[in-house]
Structure 1
Amino acid sequence: MCPTLLSLLSLGLCVSLRIWAAVGEYDKPSLSAWPSPMVPLGQTVTLQCHFRSPRKRFKLFKTDGTSLTELHGNHFNTFTLGPVTREHAGSYTCSRFSSSLPVLSRHSDPLQIVVTGVFTKPSISAHPSPLMRAGENMTLRCQSLLGFDKFILHQENSTGHFQRRGQMLTSGHVPADFSIGPMTLASAGTYRCYGSFSHSPYVWSAPSDPVDIIISGLSKKPSLSAQGGPVVRSGENVTLVCSSESAFDQFHLLRDGENLECPLAGGQSSHGTLQAEFPLGPGTPDHSGVYRCYGSFTRSPYSWSDSSDPLFLSVTESTTSTCSSPMDPHTTEEAPLPREHSSTWYIVFGLVIAFTSTSIILAALVCHCFSTQNRKSESGKLSII
């Protein structure tokens, strides 16, 4: 019996519904990496293919140019790579697989797995300074002796992971300069950079040493003072005090613009202000310089207050006497003279030197005059004869 037109239309509609249902069931999955798609050489990374329905099998593929290479058959939810080598670096996708239907779902968006630590680390520096005021511009410079033709700059976020900040192509040993600014609170944080070669875009160097970029001027400045005054003698203990009416969690001390890396928590002073004492130990000439302090809060560790007024600290060399005390002839240590006696001896010693020098000069002049007169008289006598 020949099928009617109505039965053919019904069959076509039924097939269309089945295809639509199949497509809806096999939606596009997503692929993620834990703990991070940036994997140090020798470590492991777990890839997870996400579906609407849990506990489904998937196929994992690695993109090799324009082709896809399937890895190790079917997997449930997760697959672990590692210990990774540079061969593991590349782009990955996943697709849901069902044993009941010979149909794969759509492929996930590609996920790039980067293997770091294959090359030695580059260096990173901040110009003009890692401590900037809001609204200013700064430059982060990455460079290396290996001649990378690409540098990647990353900023650490609050969870400790890295977010891509940018990359720059260079040639030879040319450094890469990343402009940051105008500075805002989002610009502050910890930065590192990596080096790479264009022929291996997913194989990176080890990360550079971190550089902390700090923004200042977002809260009121503290004050800085020195116990006993800003002028001290060598060997005397030096303590700088940073105080503020704001309830800062930490205080930071800088000398000549260099962070001394010794933040201290503040304590309540007798005047009701919050202060932190920075003991520098016995003073030496190396302690001389210009000091400033800042305050910060734990919730915003890269946001500092405005700078305190500068404190000029001067450490002078101490003067000692080479004579033993006349009261104790057995004393072997040199006893320092009091400051006023030391100054008096300097004045007397200077006067003696001046008087002696003047006497010698006068005596020389007198001798010269007498010798001149004697020569004249002798020449006169000879002319008369």
Structure 2
Amino acid sequence: MILPFLALFCVGLCAGQGYIRDEPLPRPSIHAWPSSVVPTHGNVTLRCSTPTRGVNFVLRRGRITVASSLSPESPKGLAEFHLTDLQNSHSGEYTCDYYRRKRPNVRSPPSDVLLLLVTGYLPKPSLQAHQRGNVTAGQNVILQCQQPRHGIESNVFALLKKGTSTPIKIQSLEGQKTDFYLHNVTVCDTGDYSCVYYQTRAPFWASEPSDPLAIWVTDETESSKRKRKTLGTTAIILTVTCTVISLLAAFLIGRNTLSRAALSKMTKSSHSSKKAEDVVTDASPATKSYSPALDKGSQVSRAGEPYEVMYAELDTKALSEGISSRVKQPLEACVYSALKT
């Protein structure tokens, strides 16, 4: 009983080890930077990555091994392959895979295919848009790419956008032109577009890119918000300006009113002063009336004063009789006397 049990245990252990050794690894990814469509004599970096750490990468073009990352500089599951001074011979379909540096040496499945195109070996196409000017978000945009008349037929057209690493659209059509449809565009579709056509098999000749075509997509909602914001700011500025002008006008009007009131008050005071002076002037004859006789005591005291002084006495009778009697009174009734030292 013990021998059959040990035999079964060894068989299970060997089967388990085989299962571990045959366990597949995650598929890696491959990307080109800055783009998979590169001009002649340009440079490109192919990046291979995987979530598995401690691996070595292998870059392949078709079935040909181009480069390997055998250095221990990829602990995070990332490798970069730099291709410089590109020629048409660099064009082709690239993949990458990896394997563990430690046992078991399991190899991963290959990545998706990345087509690297080196442009400039076929005549330049043209790119036109059916719509002109700005495009509103939500609309459809049609871009037509057309190759020259003397170009080769039965090619694949690719629509490129500046800032993207791969063509955003690829269409295969027998003929010399094709239409690219951009459905329900958004603000993110704003950018510079171009197109190329190329061969899908070796030697993978590719044309020079077309002249760039700018597409500008505007959002009506954002435009309305900006307009409302602008109008609101303008209204606030006008309101503040009108308020300041109104306050300034009220201040000037009030100041002018106070100035006129003060001037009127001063005029009335001047008139009152003149009237008072007139009254005093009218009453001056009474103050200038003197008694015809002076007592001797006062004369003696005045005689001792060192300066020449003129004295006068009031005519009390004239004051009691009033203004009418004083008008009729002869001038001889007022006696003026002057005493000198």
Aligned counterpart for 2:180 among listed residues 259, 278, 292? 278
The equivalent residue for 2:43 is 137
Q: Residues 257-268 of structure 1 correspond to what in structure 2 (within 5 A)?
A: 257-258=163-164, 259-265=167-173, 267=175
SS at match of 2:183: strand
Q: What's the counterpart of residue 56 of structure 1?
A: none
Secondary structure at the aligned position of 1:186 is classed as helix
Over 3 Å counting, the alpha-carbon distance change for 1:86 and 1:186 in structure 2 is farther
> Could you tell me which residue of structure 1 aligns to residue 162 of structure 2?
256
**How many residue pairs end up in the alignment?**
237
Give the conservation status (yes or no) of the 8 Å contact 1:189–1:213. yes
Task: Determine the structure 2 residue equivalent to 1:197.
Answer: 100
Residue 212 of structure 1 is matched in structure 2 by 115
Residue among 207, 229, 238 paired with 1:305:
207
How big is each residue's C-alpha offset from its partner over 1:297-347, in whole Å with a ceiling of 9 and x where there is no partner?
34448432101000001223458xx9xxxxxxxxxxxxxxxxxxxx9xxxx
Q: What is the rounded CA distance, in whole Å, between the counterparts of 1:232 and 1:301 in structure 2?
A: 39
Deviation at 1:257, TM superposition (A): 4.2
Measured in 2, the distance between the counterparts of 1:137 and 1:303 equals 17
CA RMSD of aligned residues (A): 4.1
Contact 1:181 1:187 in 2 (8 A): no
Please tell me whether residue 292 in structure 1 is matched to residue 194 in structure 2: yes
1:208 and 1:195 map into 2 onto residues whose CA distance is 10
Distance 2:203 2:250 in 1: 80
Which residue, 206, 223, 226 being the options, matches 2:129?
226
Give the one of 346, 359, 366 matched to 2:249.
Answer: 366
Instruction: Map residues 140-219 of structure 1 onto 2, 5 A cutoff.
Output: 140-156=46-62, 162-171=63-72, 172-173=75-76, 175-200=78-103, 202-219=105-122
Shift of 1:116: 8.2
- Is contact 2:124-2:210 (8 Å) kept? yes
Q: Deviations over 1:275-304 (max 9, x none)?
A: 211122344433321110111234448432
Unaligned runs of 5+ in 1: 1-83, 89-114, 157-161, 268-273, 323-342
In terms of mean alpha carbon deviation, does 286-295 or 254-263 score higher?
A: 254-263
Between the aligned partners of 1:124 and 1:356, the Cα distance in structure 2 is 61
More strand by percentage: 1
Q: Which has the larger radius of gyration?
A: 2
Q: Report the CA distance shift for 1:126/1:232 in structure 2 as closer, same or farther (over 3 A).
A: closer
CA contact (8 A) 2:52 2:77 kept: no
Note the C-alpha offset of 1:265. 1.6
The alpha-carbon deviation at position 263 of structure 1 amounts to 1.7
Q: TM-score, normalised by structure 2?
A: 0.57
1:120 equivalent among 26, 33, 36: 26
Deviations along 1:135-172, whole A, 9 cap, x unmatched? 2232222233322242112222xxxxx22222222332
Change beyond 3 A, Cα 1:196–1:372: farther
TM-score, normalised relative to structure 1: 0.51
Q: Structure 1 residues 182, 211: CA separation in 2 closer, same or farther (over 3 Å shift)?
A: same
Change (3 A) 1:297 1:126: closer
Aligned pairs (5 A) from 1:55-94: none
Partner secondary structure for residue 203 of structure 1: coil
Query: How much has 1:261 moved relative to structure 2?
Result: 2.8
What is the alpha-carbon distance in structure 2 between the residues aligned to residue 197 and residue 354 of structure 1?
70
* Contact 1:242 1:293 survives alignment (8 Å): yes
How far apart are residue 372 of structure 1 and its match? Answer: 5.8
AA of the residue aligned to 1:247: I
- Output the amino acid matched with 2:66: R
Query: What's the CA shift for 1:218?
Result: 1.1
**Structure 2 gap segments, 5+ residues each:** 1-14, 270-341
- How far apart in 2 are the matches of 1:282 and 1:201? 50
Percent identical residues: 27
Cα-to-partner distance string for 1:165-218 (whole Å, 9 max, x where unaligned): 222223322632222243223322222222222333852123233322121111
Secondary structure in structure 1 of the residue aligned to 2:106: strand
